[in-house]
Structure 1
Amino acid sequence: MAQSKQEKIKKAVEMILEAIGEDTNREGILETPNRVATMYEEIFSGMNVDPRDYFTSSFCEEHEELILVKDIDFHSVCEHHLIPFFGKAHVAYIPQNGQVTGIGNFAKAIEAVAKRPQIQERMTTTLANAIEETLSPRGVLVVIEAEHLCMTMRGVKKPGSQTVTTAARGVFEKDSAKRAEVLSFIRR
């Protein structure tokens, strides 16, 4: 993150601390603006990363059956309250013409998309679109399950509640049996 961006974040954090009545010269708070600026550099590192870049390399394995990568942990930040949400992402696809990609690419793409302020619905759609646009599979299904701290620690205060979003493309959009098969594997 450019130095001027870090300086802006530090100043903003200092202003927030002052606004809530905190003594910004108190020993425990003194370095908080620096720590937050450093943390933001890490947790928002996906701002200018295109998840499609992770799917540009593929290889032919002559495999045209279901591939499911599930239980990929992620952390993101709700754009409405700038409070974390976290959970698991599951990605399924059916290759076309045997074109597959490395399974680690799904985790990398999820990580990149998660590291920006957003809503879960956009995260789900962004991932499905990136996979569909680059791999051109017969079908893609992305399922994201997450707990939103904006819902558990404030507002309605319902800890443990989960939000589930899906994005289906191709065969998974049209064939409910295929979609149900993937969902049954995710539940195992």
Structure 2
Amino acid sequence: MSNLSNVQVLERDRKAEEESARPDRAEVEAAVRTIIRWAGDDPKRDGLIETPSRVARAFEEFFIGYSQNPTTILQKTFEEIDGYDEMITLRAVRFESHCEHHMAPIVGKAWVAYIPNGRVVGISKLARVVEVYAKRLQIQEKMTAQIANTINEVLKPQGVAVLIKAQHHCMTTRGIHKPGTDLVTSRMLGCFRDNATTRQEFLSMTTDPE
């Protein structure tokens, strides 16, 4: 019987499928040239000759999260915590992502909290989990759930809370054109879902630090 968690199984299957179907760099650059021609410009002119290569490199950076496993990031924990069992909150973790509908930027901040159950994880690891999921094609609702579910499955804390505030360029720079608006999503698990006082304590911390 497999000892993998549901999150680990999904990550394994997703990575295997992605690797089997992944195009090579030449195909990506050819696709960019096609887009340039479709937009009405000439990919052979001086200013655009190196654009396909630059776009491919940029996309490698934008979507590096597909090559990273968030469960591995959380594996190293610390148990010498002298019984600490209060809320741990990492506030305003800035991220950049891209929406899966238009591939337009999503820029925002995440608040991540958990109440430990005998062990804690290095705080940078929480930020890295946010980053892994952000560096994929996303919708904010799914990203919020993925972060919370992964922390919950790996650390098995008393509870997990994730709140994300972000601006979506697919509606601020195109379409309905509503700059200045942001989307707020949250995911509460364990004691954050069951205990209104704990939930409110977390929500009181979800303002940008000075």
Is TM more than 0.5 here? yes
Query: Which residue is equivalent to 1:71?
Result: 92
- What are the within-5 Å matches in structure 2 for residues 39-188 of structure 1? 39-60=58-79, 61=81, 62-96=83-117, 98-187=118-207
Query: Which residue is equivalent to 2:3?
Result: none
TM-score (norm 1): 0.95
Amino acid at match of 2:165: E
Q: Percent same amino acid among aligned pairs?
A: 42
Amino acid at match of 1:179: R
* Structure 1 residue matching 2:65: 3-state secondary structure: coil
Deviations 1:138-177 (A, max 9, x none): 0100011100000100011011110011011000111122
Amino acid at match of 1:45: I
* Structure 1 residue matching 2:48: 3-state secondary structure: coil
TM-score (norm 2): 0.85
* Structure 2 residue matching 1:186: 3-state secondary structure: coil
1:9 deviates by 1.3
Distance in 2 of aligned mates of 1:4 and 1:138? 42
Deviations 1:68-90 (A, max 9, x none): 00111100010000111011011
1:4 deviates by 5.2
RMSD, matched Cα: 1.5
* Structure 2 residue matching 1:87: 3-state secondary structure: strand
Distance in 1 of aligned mates of 2:90 and 2:60? 28
Distance in 1 of aligned mates of 2:28 and 2:95? 24
Distance in 2 of aligned mates of 1:85 and 1:65? 32
Number of equivalences = 186
Amino acid at match of 1:10: E
Unaligned runs of 5+ in 2: 1-18
**Are residue 24 (structure 1) and residue 71 (structure 2) matched?**
no
Distance in 2 of aligned mates of 1:109 and 1:89? 11
Distance in 2 of aligned mates of 1:114 and 1:145? 13
Unaligned runs of 5+ in 1: none
* Structure 2 residue matching 1:65: 3-state secondary structure: coil
Off by >4 Å, runs of 4+ in structure 1: none
Deviations 1:43-63 (A, max 9, x none): 111113221111111111121
1:185 deviates by 1.3
